[in-house]
Structure 1
Amino acid sequence: MVEYLDEFLIIALAHFFAVASPGPDFAIVLKQSVQQGRRNALYTSAGVGLGIFVHVSYCLLGVAILLANSPELFDLFKYIAGAYLAYMGVQALRAKKNTEPEQAIGASSNTESDFKALRRGFLVNALNPKATLFFLSLFTLMIDPETPQSIQIFYGLYMALATWVWFSLLSVVLSRPKVRRFFHRAGHWFDRGIGVVLLLLAMRVVI
């Protein structure tokens, strides 16, 4: 493993900047933290981390090469991802005004199942073309083809774990009562703002 330390550090640094940059993953974790509370956001974050395994799996199986050389297939993937983000954006735009923000904070906590939160985070990451492009470049350009598959699997495990930890930390911060109370003062405007962001992300994904 020591001989692959330089490669690992490059990958870890690239992954950090990728996961820390604003995108669909951040938007959905922010939305769930404020609307649903800490537990829901943590499960959403776990789903985002699990979504990393989808990207790592198709890269290890060689599908990344197929996607890179098949614009039609990649375009189809983009349209599916864009449609999903647009759907979530429209749902957020339909948010109604909270007449009692304090009560809304308590009422919005744990109103949906842990599985649904996990599934939402998983789908947002797994269908994120930004993540697809990142892993395509990572496994085709930054990782040496001669690197043993066991080492590449380790890279994938690290990135999934690091993603989960990062968004879990964000969930803990964003779901604090003071933070949620601040966002709930804006209420429906915050929800609609997130909806606009998701729609813009959907347009960016497709275009």
Structure 2
Amino acid sequence: MSWATYGSFLLFAAVLTVVPGPDFAVVTRNALAGGRRRGLWAGVGVSSSNAVQGVVAAVGLGALIVAAQPVFTAIKWAGIAYLLWLGAQALRSAWRGEYPPDGGAGEDRGAALAGWRQGFLSNITNPKVLVFYLAVLPQFLPADPRLWQLAVLALSHAVLGLAYLALLVTVVHRARRVLRRRPVRRALDAATGVALVGFGAALGREQLVRSA
């Protein structure tokens, strides 16, 4: 694998990273609900999941999971259910419009852990992430790739994702004075909820079409 190939992968991964998806919605919601620390930990959770799935793909377990259709299907539906649940929470929050006066500034270890858990679970149950590592990464590798080469690409993608999500959380944090306003929070929660439900519904529809 040449440096030119690695650079091409980084460019491709960067473009893929900035396209809004479930990770974007989950991290944004955590940053809004719990502040900068919780948002950052949600981003760490997403990147941790990317790293795990990258290593799984590198050692060959990913292909086994995909080949075991009942297991892979169960993972898909678990991810769909989790996205719908997170979306429902956001919509309920928008409907109630009840927010702490400090905007979530008073954080504790439990809030950080909740952020990490949501980021990790939303990503680890997204079947498209594992498929990305199994189908896309080999396009940037030589015909007979080594384990470390696949691991480098996978971990590079995880690091890029973490950097982008950290930037996202920083932007949300800097705009906190505006975002703490109740009408704005309700609108953002509503938009995030619709996005999460939409992602979950799209994945569910795709799964039903494939099963038909």
TM-score between both structures, scaled by the size of structure 2: 0.83
2:163 to 165, 170, 181: 165
| Equivalent position of 1:137 in the other structure | 135
Contact 1:59-1:135 within 8 A present in 2 as well: yes
Between the aligned partners of 2:101 and 2:17, the Cα distance in structure 1 is 28
C-alpha offsets along residues 8-27 of structure 1, whole Å, 9 cap, x if unaligned?
A: 12221221121111101000
Between the aligned partners of 1:43 and 1:97, the Cα distance in structure 2 is 24
Between the aligned partners of 1:35 and 1:116, the Cα distance in structure 2 is 11
SS at match of 2:177: helix
SS at match of 2:102: helix
C-alpha offsets along residues 57-96 of structure 1, whole Å, 9 cap, x if unaligned?
A: 2211213333554554433221111011111111112111
| Equivalent position of 2:122 in the other structure | 124
Between the aligned partners of 2:183 and 2:199, the Cα distance in structure 1 is 25
Between the aligned partners of 1:67 and 1:205, the Cα distance in structure 2 is 18
CA 1:105/1:180 → structure 2, altered by over 3 Å: closer, same or farther? farther
| Equivalent position of 1:80 in the other structure | 78
Give the CA RMSD over aligned residues.
2.2
Tell me the CA shift for residue 39 of structure 1: 1.1
| Equivalent position of 1:4 in the other structure | 2
Which letter does structure 1 place at the counterpart of 2:155?
A: L
Contact 1:129-1:205 within 8 A present in 2 as well: no
Matched, 1:60 2:58: yes
| Equivalent position of 2:208 in the other structure | none
SS at match of 1:174: helix
Structure 2 residue runs of 5 or longer lacking an equivalent are 206-212
Q: Quote the sequence identity (%).
A: 25
Tell me the CA shift for residue 162 of structure 1: 1.4
CA 1:179/1:49 → structure 2, altered by over 3 Å: closer, same or farther? farther
Matched, 1:16 2:29: no
Aligned length: 200
2:43 to 45, 48, 68: 45
Which letter does structure 1 place at the counterpart of 2:23?
A: D
| Equivalent position of 1:192 in the other structure | 190
SS at match of 2:136: helix
Contact 1:105-1:180 within 8 A present in 2 as well: no
CA 1:19/1:7 → structure 2, altered by over 3 Å: closer, same or farther? same
Contact 1:35-1:105 within 8 A present in 2 as well: no
Between the aligned partners of 2:180 and 2:114, the Cα distance in structure 1 is 24
C-alpha offsets along residues 146-202 of structure 1, whole Å, 9 cap, x if unaligned?
A: 2221222222222221111110011000122234236x4333343232112111111
Between the aligned partners of 2:132 and 2:148, the Cα distance in structure 1 is 20
Contact 1:68-1:136 within 8 A present in 2 as well: no
TM-score between both structures, scaled by the size of structure 1: 0.85
Between the aligned partners of 2:112 and 2:162, the Cα distance in structure 1 is 16
CA 1:132/1:105 → structure 2, altered by over 3 Å: closer, same or farther? farther
| Equivalent position of 2:104 in the other structure | 108
